[in-house]
């Protein structure tokens, strides 16, 4: 068992028994479930919209090399600079080089899961550069020293009372402030940082290849401030975020808003084509886009798992997953939690260390049912399990158990042997992991096969 697997089991055992945590998550996901139908009302045929969005991502991924090269060509025409990063360390080194060149001491950062993936804040802190999260949820998490809990709503697991107490402890405010008052406190603190920052860092929801731009959609305006106020803007983006055309946004933006937050469209939607041009008063003087691979090309090369790169990070699968709703986002111990995280993490960070995530699923299929771009998530989880076995990662007890099962299931005589107490005793002692969290198995005194034979005999 890997260290990550042991930690996952320990954390999820504790969190699943935390009734207060479950109440908070069910409350917040309940609010999400109530508004999603309102967002879907803008579509005449939601199923068709999802199918078309999947086709857009299919086209983008099947021609990914061409799409990225076209983006680079068009983006650099307007003075932007593109940096290709093979892994996390290359991306971090490039950011540090830019920071040193600009003599940067303070960075404002808009919400970005890919910067969480490469642990950018920790890296900058080690290099004596202050990096301040400007998304309210991320700011709350940063104050508390925690990573994001959810792809879309980083502080979903905290109540307004939790946040008020946190602000009182960290910022010296009253512990009785309302959510509106807490927001104003955060706004005042963050506006100071915008004025101080030499560099703004964001991710991107989409890379638009035909015009050479990135698209950012958010609800607070922090992304727009982070891109436009500092003199230098760095966007760090996974290579899978590409879409072929500007016109694709007419579908992708409303779809992301609906499945992400239940809105018809988010409040701030920005298309950034590069640094400010001659005669323009707004925007950064320099802009860099770091295109991050970090094993995404490994997933791309896998014909079955490639589909997982269609993900637009709406977080709908997390909100639908019974496992996520019971154990929470932090139990996974990785950047991307929930069903999509369980699919991609073993490929991004190593199957041997993270194969357990693909087994932590009920396989109910609800994640596939709600996916905005129709990724067959539960099937990909099964495929991960198969790949882990094909790679020889199954332990000796597991291999032995399945071998015995195969032998006995192919021979009816073996299946009928030792019914009742004998079979129950042997199985319960052999599979010790089963009854750690469950009661013992109790086998029937007769198999169905034996009962059926007796029934036919009595009829005759």
CATH code (residue 282): 3.40.50.10420
Is the confidence at residue 335, as pLDDT, over 90? Answer: yes
Is the confidence at residue 129, as pLDDT, over 90? Answer: yes
Do 4 and 356 contact (CB within 8 A), yes or no? yes
Tell me, yes or no, whether 290 and 345 share the same domain. no
Tell me, yes or no, whether 115 and 208 share the same domain. yes
Our CA dihedral for 404, 405, 411, 413, rounded to 10 degrees, sits at 80
Tell me, yes or no, whether 175 and 220 share the same domain. yes
**Domain coverage including residue 358:** 1-39+310-394
Q: What is the CA radius of gyration of the chain?
A: 25
- Residue 425 banded pLDDT, cuts 50, 70, 90: confident
**Sign, CA torsion 309/313/316/317:** positive
Is the confidence at residue 415, as pLDDT, over 90? Answer: no
Tell me, yes or no, whether 54 and 27 share the same domain. no
Is the confidence at residue 281, as pLDDT, over 90? Answer: no
Number of domains in the chain: 3
**Mean pLDDT of the region 143-151:** 96
Is the confidence at residue 447, as pLDDT, over 90? Answer: no
- Asked if residue 299 belongs to a domain, the reply is no
Integer Cα distance of 24 and 121 in angstroms: 28
Tell me, yes or no, whether 338 and 239 share the same domain. no
- Residue 174 banded pLDDT, cuts 50, 70, 90: very high
Tell me, yes or no, whether 288 and 403 share the same domain. no
Tell me, yes or no, whether 128 and 255 share the same domain. yes
How far are the Cα atoms of 206, 309, 346, 392 from residue 350, in angstroms, in the given order? 26, 17, 5, 14
Tell me, yes or no, whether 240 and 163 share the same domain. yes
The pTM is what?
0.90
Integer Cα distance of 137 and 147 in angstroms: 10
- Asked if residue 249 belongs to a domain, the reply is yes
- Both tokens of 169, joined, read 């402890």
| Interior angle at CA 107, CA 226 and CA 256, nearest 5 | 40
Integer Cα distance of 344 and 325 in angstroms: 19
Integer Cα distance of 291 and 390 in angstroms: 32
Integer Cα distance of 5 and 333 in angstroms: 9
Q: What are the two backbone dihedrals, phi and then psi, of residue 416, each rounded to the nearest 5 degrees?
A: -90, -5
């Amino acid at each position: 068992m890997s260290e990550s697997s042991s930690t996952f089991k320990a954390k999820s055992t504790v969190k699943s028994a935390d009734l207060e945590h479950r109440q908070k998550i069910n409350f917040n996901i309940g609010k999400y479930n109530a508004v999603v139908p309102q967002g879907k009302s803008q579509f005449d045929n939601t199923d068709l919209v999802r199918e078309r969005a999947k086709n857009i991502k299919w086209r983008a991924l099947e021609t990914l090399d061409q799409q990225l090269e076209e983006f680079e060509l068009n983006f650099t025409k307007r003075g932007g600079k593109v940096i290709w990063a093979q892994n996390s360390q290359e991306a971090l080194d490039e950011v540090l080089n830019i920071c040193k060149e600009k003599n940067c001491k303070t960075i404002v950062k808009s919400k970005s899961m890919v910067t969480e993936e490469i642990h950018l804040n920790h890296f900058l802190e080690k290099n004596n550069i202050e990096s301040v999260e400007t998304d309210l949820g991320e700011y709350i998490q940063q104050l508390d020293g925690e990573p994001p809990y959810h792809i879309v709503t980083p502080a979903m697991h905290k109540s307004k009372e939790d946040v008020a107490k946190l602000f009182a402890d960290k910022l010296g405010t009253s512990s009785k402030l309302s959510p509106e008052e807490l927001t104003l406190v955060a706004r005042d603190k963050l506006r100071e940082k915008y004025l101080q920052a030499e560099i703004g860092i964001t991710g991107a929801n989409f890379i638009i290849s035909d015009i050479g731009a990135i698209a950012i959609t958010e609800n607070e305006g922090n992304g727009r401030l982070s891109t436009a106020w500092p003199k230098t803007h760095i966007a760090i983006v996974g290579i899978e975020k590409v879409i072929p055309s500007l016109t694709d946004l007419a579908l992708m933006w409303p779809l992301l808003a609906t499945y992400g937050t239940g809105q018809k469209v988010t409040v701030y939607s920005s298309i950034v084509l590069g640094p400010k041009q001659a005669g323009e008063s707004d925007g950064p003087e320099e802009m860099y886009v770091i295109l991050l691979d970090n094993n995404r090309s490994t997933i791309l090369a896998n014909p079955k798992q490639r589909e997982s790169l269609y993900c637009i990070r709406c977080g709908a699968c997390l909100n639908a997953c019974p496992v996520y709703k019971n154990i929470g986002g932090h139990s996974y111990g990785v950047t991307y939690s929930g069903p999509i995280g369980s699919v991609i993490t073993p490929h991004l960070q190593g199957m041997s260390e993270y194969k357990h995530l693909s087994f932590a699923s009920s396989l109910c299929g609800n994640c596939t049912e709600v996916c905005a771009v129709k990724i067959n998530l539960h099937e990909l989880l099964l495929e991960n399990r198969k790949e882990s076995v094909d790679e020889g990662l199954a332990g000796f007890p597991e291999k032995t158990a399945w071998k015995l099962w195969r032998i006995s299931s192919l021979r009816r005589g073996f299946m009928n042997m030792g019914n009742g107490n004998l079979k129950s005793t042997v199985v319960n002692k052999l599979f010790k992991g089963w009854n750690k969290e469950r009661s013992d198995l109790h086998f029937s005194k007769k198999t169905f096969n034996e009962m059926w034979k007796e029934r036919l005999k009595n009829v005759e």
